[in-house]
Structure 1
Amino acid sequence: MLAIEADALRRTYTSRTGWLKPRRTETEAVRGVTFEVAPGELFGLLGPNGAGKTTTIKMLNTLLLPTSGTARVFGHDVARDPVAVRRRIGYVFGGDRGLYDRLSALDNLRYFAELYGVEARDQKRRIAELLDLVGLVGREKESVEGYSRGMRQRLHIARGLLHRPDVLFLDEPSIGVDPVAARDLRRTVADLAAAGTTVLLTTHYMAEADELCGRIAVIAGGRICALGTPESLKSRVRGRDVLEIEAYGVDEERLDRVRRLPGVRGVSAEDRGALQVVTVQTGRGSAELHGPVLAALDGLRIGRVTSREPSLEDAYITIVEEAAGAADPSVEPAEAEVSADTEKPAEAEELAV
């Protein structure tokens, strides 16, 4: 039996604008998503902001009903049998929501153990096991409001594992976490998968996905654009070279100049503090393009220029850009979020059985 089955999942949001003459508009956030996850697999779901990742996860964990299509967790339909699904899943979302700041970590876990229906005789032992697993032993009696972002995320994971779920949904767990804490989180997630827990992970960090995930689905515009192992996704750009250029004041006009150069396969720019890093994908052995690329960026202050082998991030950018180019320009996909009270961990409580 598969751990997760998503078949042609769709989710449409309806909203009204105007007062005297209200107008009804529909936004299709997820457009026919299909994939499967085997028991014990660590599966990655990657995509840009607004691609439909969180909406997909919320349909799989019963927080949202699909507009159409079906989803099952260990054979239980998320729409027809949500209670059975919730008994078998845990949900960890990034950010500061989901915990009570004025309580200690120990009191938070005791509270959620009650919500999740953990037997009273098992709570003390289970909480001790989880505190040890996430590395919070010795800090469990401190108020959560004094915790760092990394400690909070580890406590989130402990909360999601209280009832021994078969499937754990991790929605950007390392967002805003420093590199050392992120490394500890990755180690914890890898240990969970090694112990047999099925993990579905969303993340914006490609190195994290490359290190952890056995298979990855890339979602853009509400659709799955690519699915396979990290190596199979990287094979899409294996015949390319990557040129990275540090520059200041990069604008769209100059990027378009680079895109129009013969032999250039892809161009992107990322802000890193005061500077931008321009990534240019070219055909293999196209060292002669370095000069024209730098000429196209004429007028900018240029820093370090390096050439390297393509990575999973380069493959991801290529897949997303190809999907954007193929999309209908008249449609503007967006991922709508479910509002939540920032003072109350509503999602965690709603999932509790």
Structure 2
Amino acid sequence: MYERKGHPARAALDRVDLRIDTCEVHGLLGPNGAGKTTLCKILSTVLLPTSGSAQILGHDVVADTSTVRSLIGIVLGGERGLYGRLTARQNLVYWSALYRQPTNAGKARASALLERVGLADRADERVETFSRGMKQRLHLARGIVGDPQLVILDEPTVGLDPVAAHDFRGLVRELRAEGRTILVTTHDMAEAEAICDRVSLIDSGRLILTEDPRAIGSRLTTFERVVAQRVPRRAIAAVRGLPGVTSVTETANTVTIETGAEGTAHAVLAVLVNAGVSAVTTDRPSLEEVYMKLIGDRGPNVT
């Protein structure tokens, strides 16, 4: 529960029941204020739940806080968690000391991680001179300096260019291959589809669903999209009249038809083929479209 002055108290998380399997990359998707960061803070022992319970590998986050902290690593986006006036190596050695690693072991660990994330040649330069992509790679190294079994990534690729984001996702896959469990919060639907084994959609503190990102579209909706070019006017009119057609959009020489009932796409294709249309493609909704259908486009969240 939390309360803001002049506003009634509200639950940040409401009966969220979620299990993440070992060695799974699990995505947590939702708009700003949905409860994603609150959940991550509870799992990382930064916040205490007012009710319910949470466990990391069988250890309660409240009753066994010290053990839980030794099992997790946290990677934050932006500038948080790094010291700009220290070098990359000094940052990692400092964090290894916080995990009570012996000095020599910490230095060796820092060198190995800098090599792994592609920063070995910049290891002794101040972090304040780094690009955002370099800082995010250093964030990941910092997050795993304690050799965690669970890595929590909070919006890890926000602000990264496509190349840096691609490289970062590759590192996440390597962590999974090592047997680590990954929890990642993101607004990026393509990212979730690319790296997650399962995703959970959360909104207003409530868990809406948990599913394989590649299966959500077919599981939750029966609509398909048919895109055709150079469609005669009579065929467009016939398509508009078909039961189950939810929208028909015309742009230049292209017509996009959305369907919302089983078998409608087949009927649309039959009309187009009979009209002599040959340039036709079909596809299913993306994760982003399903996300917007379930959560809704509420516009900017300004409160």
TM-score by length of 2: 0.79
How far apart, in 1, do the equivalents of 2:73 and 2:21 lie?
A: 17
Give the 3 Å change call, closer, same or farther, for CA 192–321 of structure 1 in structure 2. same
How far apart, in 2, do the equivalents of 1:228 and 1:67 lie?
A: 27
After TM superposition, the structure 1 = structure 2 runs for residues 44-63 of structure 1, keeping only pairs within 5 Å, are 44-63=27-46
After TM superposition, the structure 1 = structure 2 runs for residues 1-353 of structure 1, keeping only pairs within 5 Å, are 12-17=1-6, 25-236=8-219, 239-242=222-225, 263-264=245-246, 281-283=258-260, 284-285=264-265, 308-321=283-296
Local SS of the residue matching 2:219: helix
Q: Matched residues, percent identical?
A: 44
**Deviation string for 1:84-122 (max 9, x for gaps)?**
100100011111111111111111111111112122231
Aligned partner letter, 1:26: A
Higher strand share: 1
Aligned partner letter, 2:295: V
Local SS of the residue matching 2:214: helix
How far apart, in 2, do the equivalents of 1:139 and 1:307 lie?
A: 48
Local SS of the residue matching 1:14: coil
**Aligned pairs, number:** 264
How far apart, in 2, do the equivalents of 1:335 and 1:38 lie?
A: 35
| Aligned-residue offset at 1:237 | 5.5
How far apart, in 2, do the equivalents of 1:61 and 1:237 lie?
A: 32
Aligned partner letter, 1:201: V
- Which runs of 5 or more residues in structure 1 are unaligned? 1-11, 18-23, 245-261, 266-278, 289-305, 325-333, 337-353
- Which runs of 5 or more residues in structure 2 are unaligned? 228-243, 248-255, 270-280
Rg larger in structure: 2
CA contact (8 A) 1:210 1:230 kept: yes
How far apart, in 2, do the equivalents of 1:190 and 1:36 lie?
A: 20
| Aligned-residue offset at 1:309 | 3.6
How far apart, in 2, do the equivalents of 1:47 and 1:118 lie?
A: 37
Aligned partner letter, 1:316: Y
CA contact (8 A) 1:102 1:144 kept: yes
TM-score by length of 1: 0.69
